[in-house]
Structure 1
Amino acid sequence: MTIEISAKLVKQLRDQTGAGMMTCKKALEENNGDFDKAIESLRLKGMATADKKSSRNTNEGIIYAYVHTGSKLGILVEINCETDFVARREEFVELSKNIAMQIASNSSLDVVSLEDISQEIIDETWNFESNKEDLQNKPDNIKEQIIKGRVDKSLKTRVLLEQEYIKDSSISVEEYIKQVIGLLGENIKVARFTRYVLGE
């Protein structure tokens, strides 16, 4: 027996997730009308869709300029997608704005992904962590594990995709982008960003 799903509930789910009406209705039906489970199901489907599209070329997109209140901080971010049609969509522009605000909120960010961190910075961080006093009397194998854990944690603070998303701390920036990929049906990548701070 199929549970009766009200149009109001479908609209509520659409407003919250941005997914299409039929997709929302199906998600609610599959989860017996449970709103939270339907959101989680749409989120997971978005992730699956995003992973399938990750190898597709992203030659279109926009450069989004965000100036923080007070005009002392500005962000330029280039976000790419597959077609000009998607680049003009309101949801894509909103994603660009949210990513720019994310960058503005955290001055330690300087790269998009872990792959963008130079070997020089990795080595510097490793040397810094290796010389901490609390490690001196630890056995080598334990010391190595502690250093690796600290280096990974330290490097992640510099990486945009690894951050908690400012508008929903239950997901990372990378997961947020994957949700939008699931919604828009195209691969999306943050190509680069620049931060301008007045006087620097």
Structure 2
Amino acid sequence: MSISAQDVKELRDATGVGMMDCKKALEEADGDFDEAIELLRKKGQKVVKKRADRKAEEGLVVTSIAADQRLGAIVEVNCETDFVARNDDFSSFADRVADLVLQERPDDLDALHALDYNGERTVQEELVRMTGRIGEKLAIRRFELIEASDDGHIVSYIHPGSKLGVLVDVTGDDEQAPLDVAMQIAALNPVAVSRDEVPESVQEKEKEIARESAISDGKPEHVIENIVNGKLNRYFQDNVLLEQDFVKDASTSVQDMLDDADVSVHGFVRYALGN
């Protein structure tokens, strides 16, 4: 049967798939609009299967914050190339997924994939549709929600390029200090807010490394524990947020900067693309 240009355009508008693919789908479906959509979805599923062994290591880290700043979501969405990561459609999809995580609070990726995306498709179906249209392996790798502590609020920082994102739970009225501490977390990747939050297993590992190093260097037995404790303290200074040197002013610590601004940090989430 004859397929009109208007029919092709309507299918293109409904699916976002290229004009030639839409025309072929309509021809194969004898003009049946719904069947053509299913054919296009099947094409997308084939692309997913075909590219299943490909590596999706590019992408975006995006965040979404509730209007009252009491809850924040961070999501990593992957693709194969940086070119696609800079595509407006891909970026819009990532932002929409972050908003859905914030609104629906899914328990895991399976629950996220099953969420309604736009009233017509689930998140998984939209992922398949975009895979078919873009021609790259796409994936939602991970997500996390962080809820503000009592009297706290969530602050977001996305590093230029959207490859690195941070959510921080803070209390205090100062506007600049929370952003500064979010940038600090992005730059120096602390393992915890305070040394009390560093897992005992991590501390023991650091002490073991320091002890073995001191022994191999031939240090006297009576000074080894002092060396071990000194190196553990140095580990805290390098890797615990409040004890790190402030990136904007190395003469002061993050703790001192926050004290001056009357701001406290209660927790954070940091996502770096692929890590």
TM-score relative to the length of structure 2: 0.51
How many residues of Structure 1 are paired with residues of Structure 2 in the alignment? 150
CA shift at 1:81, angstroms? 0.6
Mapped partners of 1:51, 1:179: distance in 2: 13
Aligned to 2:144: 194
Aligned to 2:216: none
Q: Which amino acid aligns with 2:141?
A: A
Q: Which residue of 154, 159, 164 maps to 2:115?
A: 164
Mapped partners of 1:68, 1:5: distance in 2: 46
Aligned to 1:183: 133
Question: Does the alignment pair 1:112 with 2:109?
Answer: yes
Q: Is the 8 Å Cα contact of residues 3 and 27 (structure 2) preserved in structure 1?
A: yes
Q: Which residue of 54, 60, 63 maps to 1:62?
A: 60
Gaps of 5+ in 2: 151-275
Aligned to 2:211: none
Mapped partners of 1:70, 1:183: distance in 2: 37
Aligned to 1:13: 11
Aligned to 1:53: 51
- Structure with larger Rg: 2
Q: Deviations over 1:86-133 (max 9, x none)?
A: 1111111121122112212222x24324xxxxxxxxxxxxxxxxxxxx
Mapped partners of 1:188, 1:21: distance in 2: 22
Aligned to 2:123: 173
Question: Does the alignment pair 1:91 with 2:89?
Answer: yes
Secondary structure of 1:61's aligned partner: strand
Q: Is the 8 Å Cα contact of residues 82 and 186 (structure 1) preserved in structure 2?
A: yes
Q: Is the 8 Å Cα contact of residues 56 and 78 (structure 2) preserved in structure 1?
A: yes
Q: Which amino acid aligns with 1:112?
A: L
Residues 166 and 43 (structure 1), Cα distance of their counterparts in 2 relative to 1, 3 Å cut: same
Gaps of 5+ in 1: 114-158
Secondary structure of 1:32's aligned partner: coil
Mapped partners of 2:49, 2:66: distance in 1: 33
Mapped partners of 2:66, 2:134: distance in 1: 27
Q: Is the 8 Å Cα contact of residues 26 and 32 (structure 2) preserved in structure 1?
A: yes
Aligned to 1:139: none
Identity, % of aligned positions: 39
Mapped partners of 1:188, 1:82: distance in 2: 7
Aligned to 1:142: none
Mapped partners of 2:70, 2:124: distance in 1: 27
Q: Where do 4+ consecutive residues of structure 1 move more than 4 Å?
A: none
Q: Which amino acid aligns with 1:179?
A: R
Mapped partners of 1:62, 1:42: distance in 2: 26
Mapped partners of 1:187, 1:167: distance in 2: 21
